Structure 1
Amino acid sequence: MSELADRVVQALNTLEPEDGLFAADAVTWHSFDEVEAPTVPDTLESVRGIRTVVPDFGLVEVRTTPLVDGVSWARYAVTGTLPDGTAFRAPAALAVHVDGSGQVTRIEEYVDTAQLAGLFAALS
């Protein structure tokens, strides 16, 4: 079985989370806006929305850590090609929190938004 954080990244890349991966009340928080939103459906819908503008948007070069004290980490790069043909790449990390039943209850994403300025401009 792959690491928990790896399974979350896979769910974000495929937009098809495995059954029972996320708790019904799971939330996602971003370092750049400090907003907390429901993981399902909001986070998955956000990725779908990004892909309408950047079809090759993805999380690549994924490295994960085993679950320790209820948290598993994923380090990866956010990549894609903007409508003007410009490629972007931004290193990022997810802290994936899990409850006693093994379901994800919280995702915290850390990314330098300066490296994603072109993406945010294309989305606005």
Structure 2
Amino acid sequence: MAKSLIRNTLGNRTFGFAVPADGATAKTFAENNLDGKFVVYEVESTSGNDVVTDLWDVTVTGKSETSKGKHTFQFYADFSKDEDEIRTALLNKTFNGVKFEEVFVINMQHITIA
């Protein structure tokens, strides 16, 4: 089944959602139904390992001294990564309009999938 991601920007807020459609259909949907600006991302190919058994459930908060903003989000990371590698990978990247000048790993929990 085709799947596309739509990133919709309204003012200074950006929202993302997946739709079960190819890129052309998702673009038509967005043109007919969304306000503001939008970008459609279509999956062209996939790669990786389907048999993942161990991973990290990570929650991070990034803080910007410049704009005084902060943003927290959660993701699953490869079990071979450590806290320092995750922190370094996110440092000075921008998420939800906040440049992560400081990165705090709030939670890093080992998850096993059977």
TM-score, length-normalised on structure 2? 0.26
TM-score, length-normalised on structure 1? 0.25
